[in-house]
Structure 1
Amino acid sequence: MEQNNKKDVKNEVLEWVKSILLAIIIAVLIKTFVFNTTYVLGNSMYPTLHERDRLFANKIPLYFSGPKRGEIVVLKAPDASNKDYIKRVIGVGGDTVAIIDGQVYLNGELLEEDYIEEGSYTQVYDDNYWEVPEGYVFVLGDNREEGASKDSRYFGCVPVESIKGVTSFRYFPFNERFGKID
Structure 2
Amino acid sequence: MAKKKSEWLDWIKALIIAGLLAFVVRMFFFAPIVVDGPSMLPTLENGDHMIVNKFSYTIGDPERFDIVVFHATLDKDYIKRVIGLPGETVEVKDEILYINGEEVDEPFLNDKIAQITNNQVYTFDFTMEDIPGEYQTIPDDHVLVLGDNRSNSTDSRLLGLISYDQLVGETSIIYWPPNRIGFTKE
For normalisation by structure 1, the TM-score amounts to: 0.87
Change (3 A) 1:153 1:124: farther
* Counterpart for residue 46 of structure 1: 41
Q: State the secondary structure of the residue aligned to 1:31.
A: helix
Q: State the secondary structure of the residue aligned to 2:107.
A: coil
* Counterpart for residue 71 of structure 1: 66
* Counterpart for residue 83 of structure 1: 76
Q: How many residues get paired?
A: 172
Q: State the secondary structure of the residue aligned to 1:115.
A: helix
In 2, Cα distance between equivalents of 1:14 and 1:150? 52
Larger radius of gyration: 1
* Counterpart for residue 180 of structure 1: 183
**How big is the shift at 1:124?**
5.2
**How big is the shift at 1:62?**
0.7
In 2, Cα distance between equivalents of 1:34 and 1:155? 26
Residue 142 of structure 1, aligned match among 148, 151, 164: 148
* Counterpart for residue 101 of structure 1: 94
* Counterpart for residue 122 of structure 2: 121
Structure with greater helix percent: 2
In 2, Cα distance between equivalents of 1:73 and 1:23? 29
Contact 1:124–1:153 under 8 Å retained in 2: no
Q: Which ranges of structure 2 fall in alignment gaps of 5 or more residues?
A: none
For normalisation by structure 2, the TM-score amounts to: 0.86
**How big is the shift at 1:103?**
3.0
Q: Which ranges of structure 1 fall in alignment gaps of 5 or more residues?
A: none
* Counterpart for residue 162 of structure 1: 166
Identity %: 39
In 1, Cα distance between equivalents of 2:122 and 2:103? 13
Q: Write out aligned runs for 1:2-17 (5 A).
A: 5=1, 7-17=2-12
1:28-74 residue CA offsets vs partner (Å, 9 max, x unmatched) = 11112211111111000000000001111112221111211111001
In 1, Cα distance between equivalents of 2:11 and 2:66? 42
